[in-house]
Amino acid sequence: MGAAASGVSTQMQAEHDPNASFPWWIRFLAKGVGIIGGFVSIFFGALGLLSLSATCIIAVLLEMVFGFLVIALEAPFCCQFVDFIEKIAVFSESRKLWHKAGIYCAMGLLPIFLCFELNTFLGSGLVFACGTIYGFMALGKKADRNTMMAAGDPAWQPHQNPPSVS
């Protein structure tokens, strides 16, 4: 229990770090979309089990498993009854943002590719959206104008006036 408490306190310190490259609300947006996407994915996966197609049933089963996995990774407090979730959550929090982006996008696209129906699109689409948010976070902030101009044209100097267009 002590390891779980220290893991949670470390996670909270990382989330409220004032030196972080992104505001707190973007990190919470990614977590919130992931948690809601996981629950929606499980809900639409359960509805999709009424399908008659074998590939669609496999797709919604994967959707439900991926939904549970996203909830376990983003909100491990929702899955305290499972013994190994804490280890997975600590491992997940130590990953880079582009790792999470790739995993979540793959988990969101696989059921859609297997069975493109409304329930798989809505359920897995939010998991994919969470991966997209993590992907944008992995790309980082946009540079300022001077840095962008210097990267585009090495001869550009910030003190020169831009040429006039006639």
Domain boundaries of the chain, sorted by first residue:
23-152
* Beta strand ranges found along the chain (DSSP E): none
CA-nearest of 70, 88, 72 to 125 is 70
Dihedral sign for Cα atoms in the order 10, 13, 17, 23: positive
Along the 166 residues of the chain, how does pLDDT read in single tens digits?
Answer: 444 445 545 555 555 454 467 788 888 999 999 999 999 999 999 999 998 899 999 999 999 999 999 998 888 787 777 777 778 778 878 888 899 999 999 999 999 999 999 999 999 999 999 999 999 998 877 777 777 767 776 666 666 556 666 5
pLDDT value at position 165? 64
> Tokens 């409304």 label which residue?
118
pLDDT, position 105: 95
What global pTM score does this model have?
0.73
- For 30, other C-beta atoms within 10 Å of its C-beta total 25
Residue for token pair 């992104």: 22
* Rounded (10°) angle between helices 24-48 and 118-139: 160
Residue 13: its pLDDT value, please? Answer: 52
Give residue 26's pLDDT.
86
Handedness of CA 62, 74, 22, 4 (dihedral sign): negative
CA distances from 91 to 23, 86, 99, 106, 154 (A): 23, 9, 12, 18, 42
- The pLDDT value given to residue 1: 46
